[in-house]
Amino acid sequence: MSETINITNNEVTVTKVALPAPDGSYDSLNEQITYLLIVTNNGPNTLTNVTISDPIADSGSISPASVATLAPSASARFTLTHSINNSELMALMVTNSATAQAELPNGFSISDTSDDPSDSTNFDANSDGEPDDVTIVILGRPKTVITNRKITHRVKLN
Ligand SMILES: [Ca+2]
Ligand SMILES: [Ca+2]
Ligand SMILES: [Ca+2]
């Protein structure tokens, strides 16, 4: 005997954007990008234990760690940081999605993959009826460039 339970997964949605770099450009190794995530309850139920997970979040940087209750139509704001690594500097971009999780009154867990609200592509990667555009931060070119170029001075003697 089996039972099919339909969960309206888009009762919770989350958006993820990077805040502007305090010094004008994200362009250095270990420079911290601060992201703002907004979790919204689109359903008729009060959600509990709302949390964010993000594979590139700096350890312990997700704030707050959780939100106890989120009423219908209410939103909760989270921030997290990510320290730019070498391969991202080489690629000149940081690309990533976060996930929001929450619990319904009946104990079921629901989740959503983040969308970049400034990207109007609105690609629905997980086919749950609402968008999941990845958040892309374009990095500035590093200010310090190491080259192996040899400089040869030719001095003409008369
Ligand atoms: Ca979008
Ligand atoms: Ca989706
Ligand atoms: Ca989404």
d(CA 139, CA 90) in angstroms, rounded, equals 9
Mean local confidence (pLDDT), 59-72: 98
Q: What integer pLDDT is reported at residue 51 of this predicted model?
A: 98
Nearest ligand to the CA atom of 42: 3
Catalogue the long-range contacts made by 43-46 (C-beta closer than 8 Å, 24 or more residues apart): 43/8, 43/11, 43/12, 43/72, 43/104, 44/72, 45/11, 45/72, 45/104, 45/105, 46/70, 46/71, 46/72, 46/105
Say if residues 87 and 71 touch (Cβ distance below 8 Å). Answer: no
Say if residues 93 and 116 touch (Cβ distance below 8 Å). Answer: no
Say if residue 131 is preceded by a cis peptide, omega within 30 of 0: no
Q: What percent of the chain has pLDDT over 90?
A: 80
Amino acid sitting at position 112: D
Mean local confidence (pLDDT), 141-153: 62
Homologous superfamily assigned to 9-138? Immunoglobulins (2.60.40.10)
Q: How far is the CA of 113 from the centre of ligand 1 (A)?
A: 11
Is residue 87 within a helix (H) or strand (E), and if so which, with residue range? helix 86-91
Q: Name the average pLDDT for the chain.
A: 90
Could you read off the pLDDT of 77-96 as tens digits, one per residue? 999 999 999 999 999 999 99
Q: How far is the CA of 70 from the centre of ligand 3 (A)?
A: 17
Could you read off the pLDDT of 2-23 as tens digits, one per residue? 665 555 556 999 999 999 999 9
Q: How far is the CA of 10 from the centre of ligand 2 (A)?
A: 8
